A and B are shown apart, each in its own frame.
Chain A
Amino acid sequence: MPHRTFFKFIAPSLFVMLLFIALPILSVAYQSLFIEHEQILVEVENCGPFGCEKELRIDTEAMDRAMEESPMGRFNWLGTYANTSHLAFAEVGAIWRDSDGPVSALRAMLNLPFYKALIFTIAYTFIVTPLGMVLGFFVALGVNSIPRLLKGPVIFFSLLPMIVTPLVGSLVLFWMIDSSGVIGANLQLLLNDPQLSLKASPTLTWVTLFLYGVWHAAPFSFVVFYAGLQTVPGDTLESAMIDGASRWERVRFVVIPHLMPLATFIALVQLMDNFRVFEPIIGFSAAANATSLSYLIYNDLRGSETPLFGSAAATSMLTIIGVVILLMPVLIRTWRDFNRKV
């Protein structure tokens, strides 16, 4: 296709992406290199319904002048990336120098907010993605073999974990797993442990979040795999049967290879989504035991009245880098496929 035609076709799509994603990413990347101007503080008297006090205030006029001179703030190069709230090079260095072994060093590193969040994020990504895909695959195999009439409703109910808004979905689930909720109370009965609470210990919180993640992610894999199953060539399956392949062998040697490209696609999407895990942490009030990179960003932007844009920007850039590293194998594969196509 000639360049001109190509450009005409892709223009609208490219335009919105550049305007609403690429431009913001660039500005975020640029912003992450700056910190705010030094605040000029003055002492003032401050009165309210409950009495008066002497307090420091920001001299807004002086600040306006500083902002006019350099609106982005003070240039900090990669300082924000290196500080304690992010990669914490100085602290990590000190920990490794002073520690008596890798285990205690790792433990000390987990006290740093970024690494604590990173560990959970990675664990979540690598546990939830494969489990969600496997579950989705088997559900797809199962649904594929039920009577046609039932398929519609079964597909709908299988999609529910994906389409109920997490806002209320997690509220209801959080309530259900409470020690006096329907799931929590029955688990206590089942395991004969009246003290059991899924919300209490770090381990159980992680397990709960993982299970929720799998539950929430499986429907996407299911839909895509289910659709893929419709295209498995019947004659290949038949010849495999004539060769005496068992049901499992047919799945293993015919169905799975056929679905491999689909699996790559799902893995790509799901790795990315799971790496940005955020909603369940808020929904399950799990921040005491599990934080993620997206949670850190959210906290920088929304947690305090004065948003830390630079810090959020740095964590966002690190998230993007993390995703690119995660997807590297897939990217290389796509590159090879692409070159073969060309």
Chain B
Amino acid sequence: MSSKARSRSTTLVVFSTAFIVLWLIVAAFPFLWTVWGSFKVEADFFSRTDWMNAVTGPVTQARTGSAFTGAGYHGAWVEQEFWRAAINTLIVTVFVTLISLTFGTLGGYALARSGYRYTFWILMAALVFRAMPHVTLVSGYLLPFFQLNIWGILPTTIIVIVAINQPFTLWMLHSFFLSIPKDLDESAMVDGCSRFQAFRLVVIPVMWPGVITTGLFSFLLAYNDFTVTAMLLSQENQTMVPKIASFLGSTQAEGKVMYAVAAVVSAIAPLFLLVLFFQKQIVSGLTAGAVKG
């Protein structure tokens, strides 16, 4: 947009700024509240006497001698070895993202370049696949996985998450590829490249931003998955989200709720860095090829 198009009246600036500030409050307040509360004891953060207790922390003060306590963090990371779950999450998310993108770019590219009618039906089938409630799918996996003795391990979970998210990945990447002119790879092929070489050496470099954007969504889906990870991973292979669920437990006994709160806060921190780091790519990513419906 040109600078001229950007100029606007003061009221509009005020209004738009106010709107964004309001939105940020609505969007971030619960989380900031959680960050603040994660340094209190349970009786303060979840106080029924007065919600101000979560801000001032009288019980925390009385029990620990300070208005802030790192007990939740200590409990989660040291006592309950949350770092193991963090490592498992790292493995799962990295592999899910890589495999999703590999499969997705290959498939999305083929769907965007082939003019045959079946591509339409594959895309439609992918949509229907996405409509299936995950909990039904996961319940169906249990018996075969136990029989094949592949239940509970990370690779199984990774491939299942890849598969479940493949329809979304495929649609999104397919739309990106559509926006890249066909001439690009066709001229490369005229120059003697094979289809795969054209894809890898000519198209992918242009697609990089689109790949990053799709990758971010794949990453977030794997990061936050609960249905699959809770049911398909054994205790020692648990990722962060089921581990947090286990802090909450079936009855939230043993005062571990604050472990869960602390764990959630610490699980968000790396995402902050991730978003800051990729912020530019996310934006320019979709710039390169506005997704087509």
Contacts and interface: CB of A to CB of B under 8 A. Distances in A.
Q: Do chains A and B touch in the complex (CB under 8 A)?
A: yes
Contacts of A47: none
B213 interface: yes
Contact of B140 (A28, A175, A218, A234): A28
A12 B283 contact: no
Interface string A153-179: 111111111111111110111011010
Given A3-B116, A20-B159, A171-B248, A238 B106 contact: no
Contacts of B126: 17
Contacts, number: 296
B184 interface: no
B48 to A, nearest CB: 5
Given A1-B114, A139-B20, A165-B267, A262 B293 contact: yes
A142 B113 contact: no
Contacts of B19: 138-139, 142
B164 A21 contact: yes
A309 B264 CA distance: 33
Q: State the main secondary structure of chain B at its contact with A.
A: helix
Interface in B191-248: 195, 199, 213, 220, 223-224, 226, 241, 244-245, 248
B31 A160 contact: yes
Contacts of B137: 20-21, 24
A106 B119 CA distance: 42
A16 B166 contact: yes
B261 A168 contact: yes
Interface string B31-56: 10110010000000011111100100
A240 to B, nearest CB: 9
A298 B137 CA distance: 12
Most chain A CB within 10 A, of B2, B24, B223, is at B24
B65 interface: no
B2 A234 contact: yes
A227 interface: yes
A31 to B, nearest CB: 8
Given A142-B19, A227-B285, A323-B128, A263 B133 contact: no
26 contacts: A1-B114, A6-B113, A9-B106, A10-B110, A12-B102, A13-B103, A16-B103, A16-B162, A17-B166, A155-B279, A156-B279, A160-B27, A164-B268, A165-B226, A167-B241, A167-B248, A227-B285, A230-B286, A231-B287, A238-B2, A247-B8, A262-B291, A267-B293, A278-B133, A327-B127, A334-B123
